[in-house]
Amino acid sequence: MRRAPVQRRSAERLTRILDACAALLDEAGYEQLTTRAVASRAGVPIGSVYRFFDNKRALVDALARRNLDRYAERVTDRFAALEAGDWRGAVDVVLDEYLAMKRTVPGFGSVDFGADLAPTAPGRGRGAAGKNANQQVAGRLTVLLAGHLGRGPDASLHRTVLVAVEAADALLQLAFRTDAAGDPGIVAETRTLLRAYLAGALD
């Protein structure tokens, strides 16, 4: 972002811009997205979009960051209802909240936490931007999980969480390529895989 909003009115305008971006991603995809269309949908002058963002890539990156912040908030709220140290319950929360956002949050299916939106051949999966997003997700989840388990977010835990995030990301991409709502069989296998892998590190 070029600048962060300071006044409430400016923050509300930024929210409308990001909401419009999310809706247009669902309707037309990244290639058809334009800053002018976002401004029109948000009901703001085009200059308001450029006051915050250099281009549509920066706009989508900001949407991805907002998605990650909201995801972390949802996971944190759900962790509060779990028994301390219940890592299996925590894994279910992490997976279930991702699936819920994937199915219900506008724009999340296109960008989630920072997918590579450059044109790619079918089946190639994430590029560098998506892998960097996985690092960010793993970092946030490591801190949240460490707090839930009553331990420090050390390098060992971060490595374990990163491996789990990368594995889950690949499998969930497959689940949503197979079924627009997320193939339930593949989702179930993902949950089984995560629990089996994490048991060795967290039991």
Out of 66-75, 118-127, 139-148, 174-183, pick the least confident.
118-127
Provide the pLDDT for residue 4. 75
- Buried b / exposed e over 160-176, threshold 16 CB at 10 Å, is bbbebbbebbebbbbbb
- 151 alpha-carbon distance from chain centroid: 25
**pLDDT for residue 190 is more than 90:** yes
pLDDT tens digits for 77-112? 999 999 999 999 999 999 999 999 999 999 999 999
Mean pLDDT of 114-136: 59
C-beta atoms surrounding 194 within 10 Å = 21
pLDDT tens digits for 135-178? 999 999 999 999 999 999 999 999 999 999 999 999 999 999 99
Provide the pLDDT for residue 123. 40
Task: In whole angstroms, give the CA distance from residue 137 to residue 68.
Answer: 7
